[in-house]
Every structure is written in structure tokens, then in C-alpha cells.
Structure 1
Amino acid sequence: MTYKEEFIEFLVECGALKFGEFELKSGRIAPYFINTGMFDTGGKIKKLGTYYARAVQEHFGSDFDGIYGPAYKGIPLCISAAMALSEAGLDKGYVFNRKEAKTYADKSQVVGMTLTGQTRLILVDDVITSGKAIRESLDILKTCENPRVKGIVISVNRQEKGKTEKNALKEVEEILGIPIFSIVTLTDIKEYLFNREVSGKVVLDKPMMDKIDLYLDTYGAD
């Protein structure tokens, strides 16, 4: 089993990936929902970090200095990913931003490793919709010696349209000029889970697959 397949089963087992009917922030009614807030124990977040670490290594090797996570969901992601990288023999830094700047002592907008203009960062987040949180993070980093963000790694590419006919991630990627990678894509999830039992139950059968395909006929974008 590949780490991507393991990750898909992990999403299902944790309840982070569900199938049904869900109203998204965009107003769309989707037949699937991804909630990374379900990684709510030490064991789960530790394991999640290993998948981010594998994806970071796959796409960037060791050619970076640290992992950045935007507050709040990105904080445990950058820390757990850095810990997993250390266990794999890559001892890299981590850093995350404060939501509210301190007015005393250390007034830096970030917490963690020291940043310079030569620091090479990989940004990790759960999912990207509009890219607003990412742009806010980049603005913060510009005020902190302006380190170089080499790329972004998220959990799932939902392969949906953004504000145009393009894939939402590709829109954000073009706006930011930074490559974005996901641990898995919706296509990976569909192909692996269709009619497969996970924890004794088939979560993606033919009727649900038909609903997903119908939804993607309207909102899908590779």
C-alpha cells in the first residue's frame, strides 16, 4: 500500500472524509466533505504529520530549511510535519504566525525558527479554497525578513473550479507564483475507495459515486 492509499484510509477512519450532502462555504451542495479538524488526538496528528512529511520529501527532497503553518490549523501541521521529517533524518525548522501581534517582549509576528531573506520555506495547510489565508501568510512573512516560500503542500486537491473555469488550486498557484501540491487528489480518493471496505464498511458505492460524478460535471476541474 502506498502512503497516498494509507492516507485515504486514514481520512476515512478518522471521520475527516465523509460522503453525503454538505453545504460548503461557497454555497455549493457537495456529496463529500473534508474536515481536518477531526485529527483531534496526539496519535492522529502525529500520523498526519508523517503524510505531510512524505509529500514534502516527494516534491522538494531536502532542499528547504523549514516548514511554515498558518494559524490556526497550520500550527499542528507544521510542527507534526517537522517532527516526522526529523524522524526520517531531516531535522528542519518550523514556524507559524501569531493571529494577534504581541505588544511586549518578543513582538515578532511569527513563532519558531529564525527567518532571513535566504530561508527556504515549505508552507503546509489543510485545504485551499480562495487562497485568502495563504496570501495573508505571505504578507506576514514579507515583514519577517521576507523568506522564500518554495511551495505549498495541502491535504486534498478537491479538483473543483474556483472563480473561473480553472481548478481553484491552479488559480491560486498562478496568482501567487508558487507551486501547490496535495497529498492526494479527489481522483485518487475515488479510484481507491470505490467499492472498497475500510474498517468493515464500503463508504463509496455506485450510487454515491454517481452523485460525485454528477457534482463534478458542474463544478469539477482537473
Structure 2
Amino acid sequence: MASPSIPPHKSSFLSHCLSADALSFGTYTLKSGRQSPYFFNAGLFHRGPLIRAISTAFAHTLASTPLPFDVLFGPAYKGIPLAATVVDKLAGLDEERYGNVSYSFNRKEAKDHGEGGSIVGAGLKGKRVVIIDDVITAGTAIREAIEVIEREGGKLVGIVVAFDRQERMPSASEKGEGGEEGTKASAIGEVRRQYGIPVLAILTLDDLIAYVKEQKGSFGTEEDMTRLEEYRSRYRATDV
């Protein structure tokens, strides 16, 4: 049954995430060194029903905005299957509106034979491009993708990710580098400000907490919920 407080595509996607353990509860050490009570792993969406669920959720997220675009760009490697399958789902939602949308992705190393180049799929020159990826953590991978798009002559108009942790970026002291507390902004917020583009997410930590509460024990325990809320309170970004 769809959760009443969030759209059906989010509720359906959350259900698939939790049943496939793509969203799981426990104690996980992040790259920042933080101890997170949950973990999101889009790499587990490798079976038919799961890739259908995530690509459909991406498509609904894009279709809910007036954002105009020509190409979905999937950064190597996780973004590659996402871009291709989301193009299919968009055409299924509204072929008149999205039937001409293409996908594109980059090779890690440029091909020096055949057609050559570092891009597979649609060329980017003169195209309005949306990046499709799983998450933005430090923003490094997204910045690399933006450099590829700009180098190929494309115009970045937006980014869509599967999950927004809504937490502030780690400070120097958290990373063991000493110094004072850093920005209270999120990595997604920093990308929005730096490039002046919309960054959308299928799901947020707020969505996860609301869904688990409404499922009343179907997913997670009371202890899991308490830890999620404590983590959100401690690390929540100011630009959420």
C-alpha cells in the first residue's frame, strides 16, 4: 500500500529499496568517518524488477518538473544502466514529450580506434543535458561528469540522483585533518550553488524516516528509527 504522505512512485521505490536491502539499517562507517545507522546501495538494483523500479522512479521525478532536456548522461559506471533504462521509462510515460530524449555515457579511457572518442550514445554538442546518478557525496564524481559534458560541448541543465542524505559535508576535524568546523551545507547544496542548476532526488532521508514510521514496524525497529532521527538531528545540513 502506498504511503499517504509521499508520492506513490517514492513509496514504491522505497519498498523495493528496503526489500532488496539496497536501503539497510545497521552501523556503517562512511568515507567521512561518520557512523551511519543506514546505508544506500544502488548497485544492488541489478535484477529486472529492481532496475524497473529505480528507472521508473527516476522517470517520474524528471516528469514532475518542467525541466527541458535532450540527453540523459550516466557517469561511468553506475550511471550507465540508469541513463539507458530511464530513457526507456520516460518514453513509456509520455512518448510525445520524451520520445526524442537520448542517453549518453563516458568511457573511463578514450577509444583510439573505430569511431574513437570518450562518449558512447548520443553526442552532447549543443544538447541540454541532465546527469543521472545514484548519490552525491563529496561531489567529486559529479564535477568530473560536468567537465566531460562541457568538454563535449553540452549544456548541463540539471542533475537527478536516487538518494539525498540531506547531511552537511564533513568538516576538516571529522576527516582527521584538524581545524574548525566547516560548512553546514550539503554536497548537493554546494553543487546547486556552484553551477546554478536544479539538483533533484527521488528520495531523501526525510522520506525514509516518514515511510518507516508509517509502516509501523514492517521495516526497521524502534531502535532503528531512534538512531535515524538522532543522526538526522546531528548532521542535518542547513540548506535542506
Fold-level match, TM-score > 0.5?
yes
Give TM-score scaled by structure 1 length.
0.91
- For residue 73 of structure 1, the aligned residue among 78, 81, 104 is 78
Q: In structure 1, how many angstroms separate the alpha carbons of the residues matched to 2:29 and 2:227? A: 14
Gaps of 5+ in 2: 3-7, 171-182
- For residue 204 of structure 1, the aligned residue among 212, 215, 220 is 220
Q: Give the number of aligned pairs.
A: 216
CA contact under 8 A between 1:12 and 1:18: conserved in structure 2?
A: yes
Tell me what 1:216 maps to.
Answer: 232
- For residue 181 of structure 1, the aligned residue among 184, 188, 200 is 200
- For residue 45 of structure 2, the aligned residue among 24, 39, 53 is 39
Gaps of 5+ in 1: none
Matched, 1:11 2:17: yes
CA contact under 8 A between 1:19 and 1:203: conserved in structure 2?
A: no
1:195 Cα deviation after fit: 5.6
Tell me what 2:165 maps to.
Answer: 158
Q: How many percent of aligned residue pairs carry the same amino acid?
A: 36
1:40 Cα deviation after fit: 1.4
Return 201-210 or 185-194, whichever deviates more: 201-210
Segments of 4+ moved more than 3 angstroms: none
CA contact under 8 A between 1:31 and 1:215: conserved in structure 2?
A: yes
| Deviation per residue, 1:58-84 (Å, 9 max, x gap) | 1245x2112111000000000010010
Matches of residues 68-217 of structure 1 in structure 2 within 5 Å? 68-88=73-93, 89=95, 90-91=98-99, 92-117=101-126, 119-144=127-152, 146-163=153-170, 164-194=183-213, 196=215, 202-217=218-233
Cα RMSD, aligned residues only: 1.5
Tell me what 2:173 maps to.
Answer: none
| Deviation per residue, 1:12-70 (Å, 9 max, x gap) | 11210001111111111100000011111133213321111111111245x21121110
Q: In structure 2, how many angstroms separate the alpha carbons of the residues matched to 1:157 and 1:43? A: 22
Give TM-score scaled by structure 2 length.
0.85
